[in-house]
Amino acid sequence: MDQNKTTRKGRREGKRQSIPYSTIVRLTQYLRILDRLNSIGITMVSSNDLCEESRVNSFLVRKDLSYFGEFGTRGVGYNIAYLREEIAKILGLDVKRKLVIVGAGNLGTALAKYRGFRERGFELVGIFDSDPTKIGMRIDNLQVESIFKFDDFVRVHNGIDIGIIAVPAFSAQYVANTLLANNVKAVLNFAPIPIEVSENVIYQSVDLTTHLEILSFYLQDSNRKG
């Protein structure tokens, strides 16, 4: 990404060195690899093992971790359970985040039904739409609510951390404005259109067309690895 580079650079003056965005992305990958190894009963891992699973080299694995502390044992490697927990802490996954999805179409429904985020501390607390025929519809244990009553909802729930935009392009900016007006702190946009958000809001976007266009570029022989 890159298109997804967070609005702010995640930079910080002061004692701690600035953390590359790519490091954060890789940490999420390490987490997934550790989960898999853990689930098949492996308890220790070396930076070399980790780098074979991902597509980076072992220096980079160690450097990425070294931004945050020392998590391994020299001559031995990393304890998987421990490293998982530490990476989760680094990513702030030890804190519960309240999540809403706006848009109860196919995409919004697909996202809502995805169970993966629950186990990472993300709690889906609401699904919204503007279409009266969708409001009241049940998706798993939630009912679709009216986006026009979003402010009430936020008050009742005492603030929302992350809003996912899964509406058509033409209403995406309206939804974003609604989210921001209600102090949603981070926005993940799936609408195929650039959205304006204020500087202090954390923003990522996922654009299908962008991904396809990138594939298209590299599909050209002249851009392929010699």
Residue of the chain from 51, 83, 107, 175 that contacts a second copy (CB under 8 A): 107
Closer residue to DNA in complex, CB, 22/130: 22
Kindly state the smallest distance separating residue 74's Cβ from DNA, in Å.
3
- The angle at the Cα of 128, spanning 176 to 192, to the nearest 5 degrees, equals 45
Return the number of the residue (77 or 192) whose C-beta is nearest DNA: 77
Residue 82: name its binding partner from DNA, a second copy, none (Cβ under 5 to 8 Å by kind).
none
Nearest residue (CB) to DNA, 61 versus 100: 61
Contact call for residues 143 and 137 (beta carbons, < 8 A) = yes
Report how far apart, in Å, the C-alpha atoms of 82 and of each of 71, 88, 92, 175 are.
8, 10, 15, 40
Applying the rule CB under 7 A, the residues between 1 and 60 that interact with DNA are 11, 18, 20-23, 45-48, 56-60
Q: Does 198 bind a second copy (CB under 8 A)?
A: no
| Distance between CA atoms of residues 84 and 64, nearest Å | 14
21 binds a second copy (CB under 8 A): yes
Using the rule CB under 8 A, which residue among 147, 161, 179, 195 binds a second copy? Answer: 161
> Within 10 A of 88 (CB to CB), how many other CB atoms are there?
17
Q: Which is nearer to DNA, 75 or 92 (CB)?
A: 75
Distance CA 124, CA 126 (A): 6
The size of the interface with a second copy (CB under 8 A), counted in residues, is 82
Residue 143 phi/psi, 5-degree rounding, is -110, 140
